[in-house]
Structure 1
Amino acid sequence: MVVALVVVSVGGCQWPRDANGTLDRVREGTIKVGVAHHSPWTIANDSRNPDQAPGGVETVLVQRLADSLGARVQWVPGGEAELMAALSERSLDLVVAGLDAESPWEQKVALTTDYLTTDMVVAIPAGAPTDIAGKRVLVREGSAEAALLSDEDATAVPVSEVPERPDGAAVLPNWLVNAAGLTDSGTHLSSTDHVMAVPPGENAWQSTVERFLLELDPDEVHRLLLDNHRAGA
């Protein structure tokens, strides 16, 4: 009899559960989404046109999530720090800002499981030797990868922007290598696991967001990244 009562009790509970009922509130309602500029993942509103929806890959994904829930999106632009503070206080339901799993905000908010991993790689012309030791490699100035090239015995050539189609070796995100007319040398300098952020304790809502993200086709996300890049994002 005791066992039966426990089973009924557990079976009558929704699990996972939200501390503040976020999932029930946003379904067929409004999702308040904070968005900080981090192109091409997020592109903040033009201050001269505040009613314009933000752009970027993650804003497209959020709109698809909202559509799947029959919800509308209320975009809240701002700096990453202020948006995370609002999220921790549950004034927002979601924050997108090109975040990675190593975000320092994980102590204050809940980060989703990573939905895509991107690598910064040394790309080379087709047929060139894959060993980059001694090679000059174009790399965006001020980037972490500029320093990492020395560990590969390569010479970093800092530039403000890596050309659209480099003539020689260059550091590029893996999703851009083929479009740049180059091939992956096999030297990967860094990786980023991409996540979104939700309020702490909203477990049913977080589970719903994660389920949506994990069902994404990585190739489709790569296509969105290329579309944004080609549009000059």
Structure 2
Amino acid sequence: MTVFTRRALIGGAAAGAGGLLAGCDALGQNEGFRSILFRGADWNQWTQRALMNRSALAREFRPDQMSPVFRTNGTRNPNTPGYNAHAAENFASWRVRVDGLVARPQDFTLPQLFSMPQRAQITRHDCVEGWSAIGKWQGPRLATLLDAAGLSDRARFLVFHCADLYSGGRPYYESIDLVDAFHPQTILALGLNDRRLGVGHGAPVRLRVERQLGYKHAKYVERIEAVADLSVVHGGKGGLWEDIADYEWYAGI
């Protein structure tokens, strides 16, 4: 598993094969090629990052191309006492904590998140279940929070701890590396299609990491933990579905 430090990212990422980018996007629409890429996380990660610029953007669409219905995926409602209490007060006391390997651990309120520079992007969500939808997401870049907290040079991954629970009371979590964390399209979404997020779509805060499949887009985000090693977090594979169903940790598309 390849990891990167914040210093290495600032120092300069390896150049991608820009001339191959259009060809890669076309191949990405071929189901046979996609199935080959999805057979192994290491191969998938190496292939995508070897063939494209690290800062390459996921395709963005026009407003008239947005899907008339954007389906929900995963948990539709955490329905825990704690979450229901937050929902009853319209998430007025919700906090997103950033801690772990940071210089300044802190809690961000929703008003603080809304006050940050917002990025709006119309992108396609690709679900591992086989469906896609195009929607407009809005929220601050994840990099804004990480810079405010002062990410340590020892940090290699970010773990997103969520409010929803799965079988056996397992908390949902996901993780990404620093390449995706500082990507310009990686945001903490507060809104979908010019409205605040609904419960089914992860209210009040959802990760959007646009070059990965839908299960990486953690919903109901309560805490973002910077870590050096994923093996010590929950089941050790970097995410709930990775732990219990052998999903690939790197789900690049």
| TM-score normalised by the chain length of structure 2 | 0.22
Which protein, 1 or 2, shows the higher relative CO under an 8 Å CA cutoff with sep ≥ 6? 1
